[in-house]
Amino acid sequence: MKLSPLSMALGLTLSTLAPCALADTVFGIYAGAGKWTSDYTGQAGDPAITTQALGLNDSDNSFFYIAIEHPVPVLPNVKYTNQNIQSDQTAILSQSFGLGDSNFSALSEVYSDFDLSSNDVTLYYELLDNWVNIDLGITARQYDGYIYAESSLNNSEKVDLDITLPMLYSKFQFDLPLSGLSLAVEANFVKYDENQLTDYNAKIAYMFDSVLDLGLEVGIRKMSLKVDDDEAQADLDLDGPYVGAMLHF
C-alpha cells in the first residue's frame, strides 16, 4: 500500500488551509459519546461471500470523541474519535469462500468475527464560525482490527487490519438562531489504488440552555470500505441510525 504521496498531498492541503482559517474566540472543549446501529451489506474474501451468507446482518457499535478548539489562528484544532465496531456470528455456508490462505467449504458451519474498530486524530481549521460553520482538515485513521473465520472442519484464518489511513475531513453545520437546534454533515474520505474509504454522517442536534452546554444528537451514518490487496479483499457498507449525547465547556 503506497500511501506516501497521498500523505504528502493531504499535508499540503492542511498547510494551504492555514492562512484562511478563523480562530475560536475562546478555548473550548467539545465531547460526545453514543451508539450506532449499523446494517451490513457487501462481500468479503476471495472467492467472495456475502455478509448475509455469513450471518452478518447488523451490529450495535459505540463511539466517543473529544475536540479542542483554541484562539491561536495558525495552529489547527484537534479532534480525537474512538469507534468500536465489532460483530461475530455463525452460519452454515451456502457457498465456499476464501480468506487469507484458507478456504472454507460450502455446507460447513463457520464462525466469523469482524473487528473494524478504529482511532481517529483529526486536525482541522474553521473557515467559517457563525450560524454557518465550515471545518476542513485531515484525519489519520488507525485500524487495529481483524477478520477471523473458523469452520467446523477445524480450519481457521485471521487477517489483521493494521493500517493508518490519511483522509480528507470536512464538516458543514447550520445553526438555527435562538433555537439551540443545528443541522450538520461530517465526512472523511480517501481513495488510493483499488482501495477506498468513505465515512459520513448527517445529524440534527439540540443544545439545552444550561450552565454547561449539554445536548443530544440523532442522525444517520454510512461507512463504505473497499479493500483489495494480497491479504484481504472486502467491499463492505455499514449504515444505520445513531444517537449520542454532547457536552461543551
Specify whether the CB–CB gap between 96 and 81 falls below 8 A. Answer: no
pLDDT band at 233 (very low <50, low <70, confident <90, very high): confident
Give residue for cell 454557518: 132
What distance in Å separates the CA atoms of residue 132 and residue 211, rounded to the nearest whole number? 24
* Contacts with 10 (C-beta within 8 Å, 6 or more apart), sequence order: 138, 166, 167, 168
| Listed range (2-16, 24-38, 110-124, 209-223) with the worst mean pLDDT | 2-16
For residue 228, the SS3 value is: strand
Does 23 score more than 70 pLDDT?
no
pLDDT of residue 240: 98
pLDDT of residue 10: 54
Question: pLDDT of 115-163, one tens digit each?
Answer: 999 999 999 999 998 899 999 999 999 998 999 999 998 899 999 988 8
pLDDT band at 1 (very low <50, low <70, confident <90, very high): very low
The mean predicted confidence, pLDDT, of the chain is 89
Q: Which residues pair with 50 in a beta bridge?
A: 43
pLDDT band at 73 (very low <50, low <70, confident <90, very high): confident
Mean pLDDT for the stretch of residues 63-89: 94
Does 22 score more than 60 pLDDT?
no
pLDDT of residue 15: 55
Architecture of domain 4-248: Beta Barrel (2.40)
Does 14 score more than 60 pLDDT?
no
The residue extents of the domains of the chain are: 4-248
Distances (CA, A) of 38 to 62, 64, 160, 199: 11, 16, 22, 13
